[in-house]
Each structure stands twice: as C-alpha cells, then as structure tokens.
Amino acid sequence: MPETVLVTGGAGFIGSHTCAELLAHGYEVVVVDNHVNSSPLVLDRIAKTAGRPLAGAYRADVRDRRALTEVFAAHRVDAVIHFAAHKAVGESVARPVEYYDTNVGGTCTLLSVMRDHRVDRLVFSSSCSVHGDARTVPLTEHSPVAPTNPYAHTKLTCERILEDVCAHLAQMRVLALRYFNPVGAHPSGLLGEDPRGVPGNLMPYVAQVAVGRRERLSVFGDDYPTPDGTGVRDYVHVMDVAEGHRVAVEHLDDRTGMRVFNLGTGTGTSVLDLVAAFAEASGRPIPHQVVDRRPGDVAALVADASAVAAAWGWTTTRDLAAMCRDAWRFQQLHPDGYTR
Ligand code: NAD
Ligand code: WQD
C-alpha cells in the first residue's frame, strides 16, 4: 500500500511543489488548504505534473477542528506535512494576532486532531528567520535563536510546542525543517511562485521586472559588510526544498522525538549576484537602483547544510542558474500569475 501524506497548505508555493514531488514518487497525497494565499487552479496542475490525481483536496482551514476531523476520517493518513501558515514578515508586525492564531493555533488544532487519529509522523515548515539578526554565518541548527518579528516568533513557538509534545508523547516523530530562501519553479513551468500584489521578496520582483511588469528593482542598501555591499542570502531551489520534504518523510521513522534540520545550499548569493544571474537566464536587462536599507533586514543569512547531509546522505543539487531559469520559465508562461 502506498503511504498517504496529508499536506496542509498544499496549494501554496512550497506545498504545491512538494505535492508534485510526492505524487511523482508514488505517494497518495491529500491537500488541505483554505486558499487564503493560493489559487485552487494549482491543484489540477499538481496532478498534471505527475500524470496522477491527488487522493483528495479539501478547502478547509487548519484551525477548523471539525473540518480536519472529517479529512482524517476519510483517509488513512500515514504522515502530515504542515505548510499552512501566514508568512509575510511585514504583515505579521501589522497583524500579530492573526499570525499567532493561524500559525500557532492552526498547528495546535492539527496536532490535536492527529492525536485523536493516532497519526504521529509530522514534517513541519520552519524558517531561518528564527535566528533573527545572525552574528555569524553559516548558521547551524544550534546557532542562537532570537526572532525579531511576530512571524518568526510564531515559527519558533511552534518548534517549542512540538518539542514539548514529543517529550510528552513517546511515539511522536517530528522533523522541523528550517528553510532559507526558497525560489525557482517546477521545471515544467506548470507550478511556480505567484505572490499577490507587489512582491515583497527579491526573486519574484526581479522576475516581474524582467517580464516588463515592473519598471525597476530597488536594491535595499549597498553598504552592508558583504563582498559587494548588498544583502547575502542562501537561495534554495523550491524543487530541492520539495525533494527535501519527500526525503524527510522517508526518514521520519529513523527515530522518535523532535529533530530540526536546515534546508539550504550553504552558498551565499548577494542581491547583485542574483540580478546578474537572472539577466543571464532571461536574456533581459534588469534595471535596478540602490535605495535605503529595508528596516529589519540583516546583512547575511546562509545555512550550514551539513547536518541534513550527514543524517540522510542528501544534499541540494540545483544551482542559482537553474533557480533563475525555472523562475523565468514560469514568469514567461504566467505573466499575470495563475489567472492565465
Ligand atoms: P504560501 O503562502 O505560498 O503557502 C501557504 C499555503 O497555506 C497557502 O496555500 C495558503 O492558502 C495556505 N493557508 C494559509 N493559512 C491557512 C489556514 N488557516 N488553513 C489552511 N490553509 C492555509 O507560502 P509558502 O512560501 O509556500 O510557505 C509554506 C510554509 O513554509 C509556511 O509555513 C512558511 O512559513 C514556511 N516558510 C516559507 C519560506 C519562504 O520564503 N517561502 C521560508 C521559510 C519558511
Ligand atoms: C532577500 C534580499 C533584501 C526585495 C524572507 C523572510 C524570511 C523567509 C525568507 C519565511 C535581502 C533584498 C529584496 C527587493 C531587495 N521567509 N531585496 N529588493 O528578507 O531574506 O527573507 O524570505 O520564512 O522570513 O523575511 O528575503 O527575498 O525579501 O530579500 O534588495 O525588492 O533581497 O534586502 O537582502 P528575506 P527577501
């Protein structure tokens, strides 16, 4: 019998690519998503990438215990991947209660329904943002945590809750994956990142400049203590992130309890490096101008990705050129996002 994985937030950016990866590897996949930040059109596209249907797709809120209970009653769930959350740092400062309610409250409701149905295998979406303003990079899983905004606090709070639950329930197996900066798109061009409104993140903004939807990129500061003065990040291809989740599901049974792993490449890329790589991949110029630093930004965030490699013998394989090439393909095919 193939394993059934319930994916919350499965229509979102990382969730949709992970569902495609799971389907391609023979898993049965059930999606729960309230589509607050995703299009239901994505669900058919996930199936198309793999040539196989989803086992189920439910428009439901992870805070809705009754709805979740119905989903768990309808499927024999073997493992859960929990992506569903709000993720915009700036918005979290303006709407902290909503962020705690969905991100922390939703996780608690999910855990409680999992317990009712004796499901004890979970992969949780965490974030490098739990480290806040990192003093030294690369960051290991043991580097100090010091969230600087409500969003990052919700992720760290969920990690703490999961630790406590694992300490209490001996059979629980939880993997929290701290992603660095996921970018790129499915190589088919069917799935990608489709932010609402003006993109807050670098890669989708650059892609929209390349396609002519935005005039120019604002580079937020060139006076950081980095080689070219612009911010350095660890961009990781979303297909590597998706693969990392599939491999994580395979390793849930290695041991009980809670484990935390970084999901990054270990390579730092500056804003100007990324702009140059995208110009090369797209064959288009990326007009840009340096403006003031963005409040709250840090100079550099790069993963030490060695722990996951040592534990699972798995590493990311896709480079910056592939990230740009795939993001560009999706952008060209969907100049206005999933609506076309
Ligand atoms: P996304 O917004 O594209 O996907 C999240 C999905 O969850 C969306 O489809 C949304 O509709 C759904 N959702 C939100 N609230 C829900 C609710 N209450 N009930 C049901 N569904 C709900 O975001 P993403 O980039 O795919 O991120 C996925 C996860 O990864 C999030 O937990 C995020 O915090 C985490 N993460 C993302 C990044 C990043 O840079 N993208 C980095 C680190 C961690
Ligand atoms: C990258 C670099 C900017 C936009 C965010 C979240 C973090 C995590 C990953 C969820 C920085 C610069 C950006 C622009 C620019 N998400 N930039 N012009 O801030 O590293 O991380 O996504 O967990 O929590 O905060 O990503 O893509 O916004 O910025 O110059 O228009 O690009 O200053 O150096 P960030 P980002």
Note whether residue 162 is domain-resident: yes
Note whether residue 222 is domain-resident: no
Q: Which ligand is nearest to the CA of 18?
A: 1
Band of residue 236 on the pLDDT scale cut at 50, 70, 90: very high
As a whole number, mean pLDDT of residues 299-315 equals 97
Quote the pLDDT of residue 133. 87
Note whether residue 302 is domain-resident: no
Quote the pLDDT of residue 2. 82
Note whether residue 318 is domain-resident: no
The span from the CA of 264 to the CA of 181, in Å, is 8
Q: Is 37 in the pocket of ligand 2 (CB under 6 A)?
A: no
Q: Is 172 in the pocket of ligand 1 (CB under 6 A)?
A: no
The alpha carbon of 10 and the centre of ligand 1 are apart by a number of angstroms equal to: 8
17 alpha-carbon distance from chain centroid = 10
Share of the chain above pLDDT 70, in %: 100
The span from the CA of 94 to the CA of 100, in Å, is 12
As a whole number, mean pLDDT of residues 318-336 equals 97
As a whole number, mean pLDDT of residues 273-287 equals 98
Note whether residue 54 is domain-resident: yes
Which structural domain range is residue 103 located in? Answer: 4-183+237-264
pLDDT of 134 over the 90 cut: no
Note whether residue 60 is domain-resident: yes
Share of the chain above pLDDT 90, in %: 96
The span from the CA of 289 to the CA of 27, in Å, is 46
- Which residue out of 215, 289, 294, 320 has the highest number of ligand 2 atoms within 8 Å of its CB and is therefore the one to mutate? 294
Band of residue 270 on the pLDDT scale cut at 50, 70, 90: very high
Q: Is residue 184 left, alpha or beta, with left meaning phi > 0 and alpha meaning psi from -120 to 50?
A: left
Strand pairing category for 257-263 and 173-179: parallel
The alpha carbon of 86 and the centre of ligand 1 are apart by a number of angstroms equal to: 6
Quote the pLDDT of residue 58. 98
pLDDT of 157 over the 60 cut: yes
The alpha carbon of 225 and the centre of ligand 1 are apart by a number of angstroms equal to: 31
The span from the CA of 240 to the CA of 153, in Å, is 25
pLDDT of 93 over the 90 cut: yes
Q: Is 14 in the pocket of ligand 1 (CB under 6 A)?
A: yes
pLDDT of 51 over the 70 cut: yes
List alpha helices for the chain, DSSP H: 13-24, 41-50, 65-74, 89-94, 96-99, 106-116, 150-168, 202-210, 238-251, 271-282, 306-312, 320-333
Quote the pLDDT of residue 135. 83
The span from the CA of 239 to the CA of 18, in Å, is 8
As a whole number, mean pLDDT of residues 22-32 equals 98
pLDDT of 340 over the 70 cut: no
Quote the pLDDT of residue 101. 98
Note whether residue 227 is domain-resident: no
Q: Is 83 in the pocket of ligand 1 (CB under 6 A)?
A: yes
Q: Which ligand is nearest to the CA of 57?
A: 1
> Which CATH number is 149's domain given?
3.40.50.720
What residue's CA is closest to ligand 1, atom 10? 37
Band of residue 109 on the pLDDT scale cut at 50, 70, 90: very high
Q: What is the mean pLDDT of the chain?
A: 97
Note whether residue 248 is domain-resident: yes
Contact 233, 213 (CB under 8 A): no
End-to-end CA distance of the chain: 37
| pLDDT tens track for 187-212 | 999 999 999 999 999 999 999 999 99
pTM of the model: 0.98
Quote the pLDDT of residue 203. 98
Quote the pLDDT of residue 125. 98
As a whole number, mean pLDDT of residues 216-242 equals 98
Structural domains in the chain (count): 1
Q: Which ligand is nearest to the CA of 132?
A: 2
pLDDT of 96 over the 60 cut: yes
Active site residues: 151
pLDDT of 333 over the 80 cut: yes
The alpha carbon of 9 and the centre of ligand 1 are apart by a number of angstroms equal to: 6
Quote the pLDDT of residue 86. 98
Taking alpha carbons only, the member of 141, 155, 180 closest to residue 268 is 180
Peptide bond into 138 cis (omega under 30): yes
pLDDT of 156 over the 90 cut: yes
